Each structure stands twice: as structure tokens, then as C-alpha cells.
Structure 1
Amino acid sequence: MSLSVEEILRLPGLESLTLRAGARNLRRSVRWSYVAENEGIAEWVMGGELVFVTGINHPRDEANLLRLAREGVACGIAGLVILTGDEFIQRIPEALVELAEREGLPLIEQPYALKMVVVTHLIGTALVQMTQVKHSRRDILGQLLSGDCPSLAIVRRRAGHLQLPLEAPRRLVALRLAGIDRLFREHAPEEAERRLQLYRQQLLDRLEDWQRNLPDALPTLVQGDLFVLLLADCEQACGRDALLGLAATLARELPLRAYLGLSAPAADCADFPRALLQARQALEVAEGLRPPGGLCDYRELGVLRLLRAIPDRTVIEQFLHDTLGALLAPGRKQPQLLVDTLDALLQEGGNALRAAQRLGIHRNTLNQRIARIESLSGQSLDDPQFRLNASMALLIRRTSSAQLEEPRQ
């Protein structure tokens, strides 16, 4: 795992550092230390830094310190360290303490008697050592997830040395942020990229913090835009309530929505590649269906497992158009009106009254649409085969990122 603010405060030699505010976020991961030398820090940090303010190179009155704290919160820094003494910053303003506590920003006081070179050396050394261990752990887990390891026995031996508990059954969660395209539409590329990296760091911090209290926790892995959790197969870690609680927390704290896919249990680490594939398939369904809570369990996919296993997407797309394409009305205000009507009718088990209520239309209007559906499709809704085909096609439509288009000629 990463080195946290709390762990830094416990490093030998740093006992004189005093926490003044923000105790609830002491588990934030520290990416690196940064000494603030300019009037502001927004342009100089990327998130995850422990920022030191000395007052040597720039005057630090109360207004400036409050500005640094606000910019630090906005940029996602790990914490703010204020050096105090007789010459530069004599004391930490109470307004800064109140702001840091309100925003959950760890605020630390460092006496000038504790030399910066000592502090940065101790933190830097600890970060390098932790980074080496973290890289080794993630290297092992990455090999296991890909199935690309020369010797499973050697990997298990390395895992034992690095205290990675791998032999217990686990379930994998694949998680991805949605809305990134909108982020880049609404902001200039530089600002969009800055925000994206900030949100990704906040997500990683939250995931690692959430796992700290779980049994046999393993590091969170990042593969491109995918975040992978390897959870012990127990209710506390991967029960539906636990994961929905995690999703709710992420929804409150992150501007971008997160979707989660949960695998079936993997008996041991040799099964991780299969479990990752299952988690990714469940995630794709969650992103398509957008269920409440944003979570999809692979074991609940049913027939969707078969659809996801078809390698040639054109086969599925052709089936979709063959079954529903005739019901489209290109160029009209509501081109998929009949498709939506058919969907509502089948989801209500063929009950026309409930389907009309679902759609908010009169029963006679629904009857007219049903007649139109049967006329255009050449099929009868009394035919169980047509109902089966239509249900499958509508399921594909709901879970596919592609939009139903005009039928091919």
C-alpha cells in the first residue's frame, strides 16, 4: 500500500510534527513532498503531495495561508505542513485550523528547529522504500491477472516474502469512471487532463482507504482506465451491501460516476485471469444498463454471458436490426417510439394495462401501437418465438453502447 500521512507522522525522527486539523483524512496517500515557494500552489501540484510552507521565500499572512489551503483542497493534496517559529510564520492562524478541519485537510505544524533537510530526507527515504515494495507487489499481481508469469511457484514464493495473501478465495471488482468524454467537451484539454488526473488520484486514495479495514487486503491495481480490486470472498469485503456502500461513497465524493463489475469467486491466484475477465464483462453490462448503485454481479448476468462471449459483434448487430429495425421511423421526432413500446410491453409480461401505465399513455393508444408493431414486423406478439427474439434484442439494446440505427438495406 501507499505511505499515508498518518504513517509519516509516525516516522522515527519526526515526533515533533503536530497534527492541528484534518484527522479524519490521515489515511490519505502521499505521492511526494513539495516545498511551496510561490504565492499559490495550484499551478505546481497534481494531487497527493504533502505541501510544506516555510514563509522564507514569500510572505505568508493569514490570507495567503487560507488561499494555499483552499488551492490544496481543490487540487487534492495529501496535507499541508506549516513551519512555525519566531522569524517567519510565528503561529498558525485559527481561521486556517478551522478551514482545514472543515475541509478534512490534514494540517501539520513543524517547528523550525526541525530542519527541512531532515524531514524531506526521512520522508523521501520512506517513500522510496515503500514505492519499491509497492511496485514489487503490483508486479506480482499484474502477472497473475494477465496469466503471464514464467513460474507460478516462484510468484507464490515472492508473494510470501512480500506478505501478499494470495491463496484464499477472492472476488475481483473492475471499476471505471464514466463521463470522461463530457469532461473534455466542457473544458480545455489542459484543464480537462488536470481534473481527470485529480479525480483518478482521489478515486485511488478512496479505494485504498476503503480496503484498509478489510481482511487480507491487496493493493488496488490500475490498468489503463480500469481500477481492479482483489477482495477476500466474504460479506464484509464483496457483499452487495458493502460494494453498494462503496459506490455510494464514490458518488458523493467524486464528480464522475463510477461503475463496478464483480466476478464470481476465484479459488486461488491461478484463477485471477478468468475472474478479471468476468469482472470486466459485468462492468460492461453495468455501464450499459446503469443499474441503481452502478454495480453488476457476473453471477447474475444469465444469458448476457452468452452474448458477451460472441466474438463477432456484427452477428449481434445484425440480429438486433433483423428483429427491431423494421420498427424504426427514421426522420421522425421519436424514431424509436415503437421499440420503446415493445420494450415496456415485454417488461410488463405482456400486460397491456401496466405497459400503458408505464408509458403514460391511454390503453387505446397502446393497442394502436401494438397493431403497428405487428404490421411492420410481420410478427404476432402472441408468438412465443417472436417474444423471445424481441426480448433478447431489447436486452442487447439496453446493454450495448451502440445505438439502434436505421435497418440495413
Structure 2
Amino acid sequence: MSLALEEILQLPGLHELSVRAGARSLHRRVRWPYVAENEGIAEWVMGGELVFVTGINHPRGEANLLSLIEDGAAVGIAGMVILTGDSFIQVIPPAVIARAEQLGLPLIEQPYALKMVVVTHLIGTALVQTSQARRSRNDILGQLLTGDYPSLAIARQRAAHLQLVLDEPRRLLALRLTGVDDVFEQHGLVVGERTWQATRQALEDQLEAWCRQHPGSVTAQLPGDLFVVLLTDTRDLHEALAALYRQLQAATGELQLYMGLSGLADDCAHYRQALNEARQALDVARHLRPANGYCNFSELGVLRLLQGIFDRTLIDDFVSRTLGPLLSPGRKHAHALVHTLDALLMENGNGFKAAQRLGLHRNTVNQRILRIEQLSGQSLDDPLFRMNASVALLIWRMSEDHGKE
């Protein structure tokens, strides 16, 4: 049961709440509201609370407010609301705002004229409604993803009632954190459990925030350690997922994150197959460790065979022997010959089309072809070399973050 702070601020009746600091962290999810009556809050909160500070039952000078900010950030509250007015806390001290901004803790100002009972009632009601809707959503998606539904027609009707659009082409992204055992072994059960749960929650929050920014995307919660996101198949999907991976990496700490993308599912009747595909792509990603963090099932092909090679050095050696002579470390266009070889293979050896793909003159491509054959000692007319080069390039693109030169 949770709502993002940015969702709470958009609730009807709460427009008078204003963000004073920590706007970059408004994706944090609120589990419940908590009114702070004691001098400190460290021993009274567990993380995820939206803490309200009134000053009614305890003086709240600058020093105390700074202490509350420090405690709140340390225990992981979602944010802090300070009530201001003539009677108790007249203004929020600039030092408190600056420290909250520095810590990335959302700090919200509420005028005393906006009654606390109204605010907490609106938030509490929204949390309950959100919880009910999310349970129903996860129930429907879980049934469709596992194929364990009594009636596809009823599942579709329930989805429509919850405004879930499921009968359009979608891809499925499966995500998994690895290294959990190492965290428990290194830190022990107590700290390990806290680290694991905090990382998991941070990942869920980031995914929910990402989905709100990408219309048509929706998370699905399944039992176990697998995270699932349904995606609209947009033109820039691959770039968006690479950016998502970089964003999520910042929240995983000691754990490693891998992702697998399914092929296109025409409608919700094919979600079970899509989940199976995403799992297979995820397994390959864990083995080959692509630079962009994920593997696409539609592009696996021979990679599924390479997954069976447990000694990664054999794969790296194959790529080095095949492409190594074409690399020019230290030069401005170190990968020019490799990119040219890639374009030629994509265009079935057609130099004219490869030149168009690269935005180069045909003579430049011809010169590079000669250079490729000289350095590699191979002919582009040799089908075995083309096959080896295609496989090596596929691994190379996954293993390194190479830009076009």
C-alpha cells in the first residue's frame, strides 16, 4: 500500500502543499502518514513514512528541525511536511531547507489553515484505494503471465474496469537482482536483510516512477525475486531501456541487476509466452553481462548456444582473435574498421549500401575493406569468416558500450 509523493501532491484538496526541497526525490513512495509528537523521530519510524511536524506539542527551533531532517534521511522516510503559521512554526529556516535539499529529502510546507485531519484523511483514503487497485492489478497480470486464469474473457473485463489496456502489442521486461547471497554472507542476517529489502524497495520505486513517465508501461508483481514490466513497443524502446538500466544501477548498491526483453506479444493471451521469452533473455544477460544491461529475446540466436560455454575467457578470446586486429586503441576512430565490417555484414557485403549506412563515400568503404582483409588475413568472400565475424560482432556490441564513430 503506497503512493508516490508526486501522486499525493496531485490529490484534490492538497494543492496548498508546496515543495520546498528534495524535488528530485518525489518518486519516493509513502507507506503511511505519521505525525511526529516527540522531540526526535529516529526510534518511532521505520522508513517510508510521510512525517508531519506541527510544533504543537514540542518546540521546533532550527536545531530541532535540522535534527529531524538528519534522522528522517537516515531511516529512509519518504518525506517531511512542516506546518507553518502564526502560532507555532512561523517559517521553515533556510538552513533546514538547504540541508533537506542536500540530503535529497523531500521537504513540504503545509499552512496551518489546511487542517491536518483533512490532509491525513485524503492521504489515507487514497492509500487504501491504491492498495485495492494494485492488488487487483497484480492479481490479473499474475494470472495472465502465468497462464493460471479461469477465464480470459473475465480477465479482460477486469482489466478494462481497472483501465488496464492489455489487448495491444506489448513487450515484457523481466528484471532480477543477483548477489543477494553474498550480501548476507558479508553482512550477516540482520544487516543483510535490511540491505536486501531496502534495495528491493528502491528498485520498485524507481520502476513505478519510470512507468509513470512512459505511458502504457505498467509493473507487475510476481512471487519471488523477479520484477516484471509491460512495455509499449515504441521506436526508441532500446535507448529507453539502456537509460533505465543506468538509472536502476544507481539504486542497486552491492547487488547486480540484469534484464531480459521478450519478443512482441500481440495481446494478453500471449503474456505467458512473453514471460518465458523474457526469462530466457534474462538468463543470457546474466551469463554474457551486456553493457546496456539487457538482452533481447528477438536477437538471441546463437547467443543461446554461447550461454552454454561456462568459461567466459573462451568467448573473449574468440572475439579478440576475430576482431582484435581491426582495432586501433588510442586513435580517434579506434573502431572504424569494426563498424565498417559490421555495416558490410548487415548489408550482405554490399559496399554501396554499407557506405550509405555509415554516411561515408563508397571509395572510403572500399579502402577499409582492403584494410580489413589485410589486417585479418581473411577474405570477406569467405562464408566462414563472415559467420565468425557476425558472431564476434554480436558479442562485442553486447560486451562494450561502443558508439558510432
With structure 2 as the length reference, what TM-score do the two structures score?
Answer: 0.72
Over residues 116-165 of structure 1, what are the superposed CA-to-partner deviations in whole Å (9 max), with x where a residue is unaligned? Answer: 22221121011111211121112111111111111101111111111101
Tell me which residue corresponds to 1:72: 72
Task: Report the 3-state secondary structure (helix = DSSP H, G, I; strand = E; otherwise coil) of the residue aligned with 1:292.
Answer: coil
Moved more, 120-129 or 293-302: 293-302
**Aligned CA distance change for structure 1 residues 179 and 41 (closer, same or farther; 3 Å):** farther
Deviation at 1:343, TM superposition (A): 5.2
Tell me which residue corresponds to 1:288: 287
> After superposition, where does 1:11-160 map in structure 2 within 5 Å?
11-160=11-160
2 CA distance for matches of 1:212 and 1:180?
A: 28
Are the counterparts in 1 of residues 141 and 220 from structure 2 also a CA contact under 8 Å? no
Are the counterparts in 1 of residues 171 and 230 from structure 2 also a CA contact under 8 Å? yes
Tell me which residue corresponds to 1:346: 318
**Aligned CA distance change for structure 1 residues 218 and 224 (closer, same or farther; 3 Å):** same
State how many pairs are aligned: 332
Tell me which residue corresponds to 2:263: 264
2 CA distance for matches of 1:219 and 1:341?
A: 36
Tell me which residue corresponds to 1:248: 246
**Aligned CA distance change for structure 1 residues 98 and 223 (closer, same or farther; 3 Å):** same
2 CA distance for matches of 1:11 and 1:215?
A: 20
Tell me which residue corresponds to 1:235: 235
Deviation at 1:34, TM superposition (A): 1.7
Moved more, 264-273 or 219-228: 219-228
Residue 196 of structure 1 aligns with an amino acid whose one-letter code is: W
Over residues 316-361 of structure 1, what are the superposed CA-to-partner deviations in whole Å (9 max), with x where a residue is unaligned? Answer: 7xxx7xxx9xxxxxxxxxxxxxx7875554344579999xx9xxxx
2 CA distance for matches of 1:70 and 1:12?
A: 31
Q: Is the counterpart of residue 170 in structure 1 residue 170 in structure 2?
A: yes
> After superposition, where does 1:210-229 map in structure 2 within 5 Å?
210-229=210-229
Residue 252 of structure 1 aligns with an amino acid whose one-letter code is: A
Tell me which residue corresponds to 1:406: none
**Aligned CA distance change for structure 1 residues 342 and 171 (closer, same or farther; 3 Å):** closer
Residue 274 of structure 1 aligns with an amino acid whose one-letter code is: Q
Give me the CA root mean square deviation. 3.2
2 CA distance for matches of 1:246 and 1:228?
A: 14
Residue 257 of structure 1 aligns with an amino acid whose one-letter code is: Q
2 CA distance for matches of 1:42 and 1:33?
A: 15
**Aligned CA distance change for structure 1 residues 340 and 180 (closer, same or farther; 3 Å):** closer
**Aligned CA distance change for structure 1 residues 12 and 215 (closer, same or farther; 3 Å):** closer
**Aligned CA distance change for structure 1 residues 264 and 42 (closer, same or farther; 3 Å):** farther
Stretches (4+) displaced over 6 A: 350-354
2 CA distance for matches of 1:243 and 1:85?
A: 46
Residue 276 of structure 1 aligns with an amino acid whose one-letter code is: L
**Aligned CA distance change for structure 1 residues 122 and 352 (closer, same or farther; 3 Å):** closer
Are the counterparts in 2 of residues 235 and 242 from structure 1 also a CA contact under 8 Å? no
2 CA distance for matches of 1:246 and 1:341?
A: 29
2 CA distance for matches of 1:162 and 1:302?
A: 38
Deviation at 1:19, TM superposition (A): 2.3
Deviation at 1:20, TM superposition (A): 1.8
1 CA distance for matches of 2:50 and 2:313?
A: 56
Moved more, 128-137 or 268-277: 128-137
2 CA distance for matches of 1:271 and 1:235?
A: 21
1 CA distance for matches of 2:209 and 2:323?
A: 48
Tell me which residue corresponds to 1:399: none
Deviation at 1:87, TM superposition (A): 4.3
2 CA distance for matches of 1:352 and 1:245?
A: 29
**Aligned CA distance change for structure 1 residues 150 and 191 (closer, same or farther; 3 Å):** same
**Aligned CA distance change for structure 1 residues 247 and 16 (closer, same or farther; 3 Å):** same
Are the counterparts in 1 of residues 217 and 229 from structure 2 also a CA contact under 8 Å? no
Task: Report the 3-state secondary structure (helix = DSSP H, G, I; strand = E; otherwise coil) of the residue aligned with 2:219.
Answer: coil
Gaps of 5+ in 2: 330-383, 396-405
1 CA distance for matches of 2:274 and 2:243?
A: 22
Over residues 193-229 of structure 1, what are the superposed CA-to-partner deviations in whole Å (9 max), with x where a residue is unaligned? Answer: 2232222221111111111122322234243211100
Tell me which residue corresponds to 2:186: 186
Moved more, 244-253 or 110-119: 110-119
Are the counterparts in 1 of residues 27 and 206 from structure 2 also a CA contact under 8 Å? no
1 CA distance for matches of 2:263 and 2:15?
A: 46
With structure 1 as the length reference, what TM-score do the two structures score?
Answer: 0.71
Are the counterparts in 2 of residues 174 and 262 from structure 1 also a CA contact under 8 Å? yes
Over residues 68-109 of structure 1, what are the superposed CA-to-partner deviations in whole Å (9 max), with x where a residue is unaligned? Answer: 223333443322101223444332111111122333322111
2 CA distance for matches of 1:290 and 1:182?
A: 18
**Aligned CA distance change for structure 1 residues 45 and 220 (closer, same or farther; 3 Å):** farther
Are the counterparts in 2 of residues 75 and 198 from structure 1 also a CA contact under 8 Å? no
Residue 160 of structure 2 aligns with an amino acid whose one-letter code is: G
2 CA distance for matches of 1:209 and 1:91?
A: 31
**Aligned CA distance change for structure 1 residues 344 and 275 (closer, same or farther; 3 Å):** closer
Q: Is the counterpart of residue 274 in structure 1 residue 273 in structure 2?
A: yes
Are the counterparts in 2 of residues 49 and 77 from structure 1 also a CA contact under 8 Å? yes
Tell me which residue corresponds to 2:7: 7
Residue 290 of structure 2 aligns with an amino acid whose one-letter code is: P
Moved more, 34-43 or 264-273: 34-43
2 CA distance for matches of 1:75 and 1:262?
A: 35
2 CA distance for matches of 1:253 and 1:210?
A: 13
Identity of aligned residues (%): 59
Deviation at 1:253, TM superposition (A): 3.8
**Aligned CA distance change for structure 1 residues 60 and 180 (closer, same or farther; 3 Å):** farther
Tell me which residue corresponds to 1:367: none
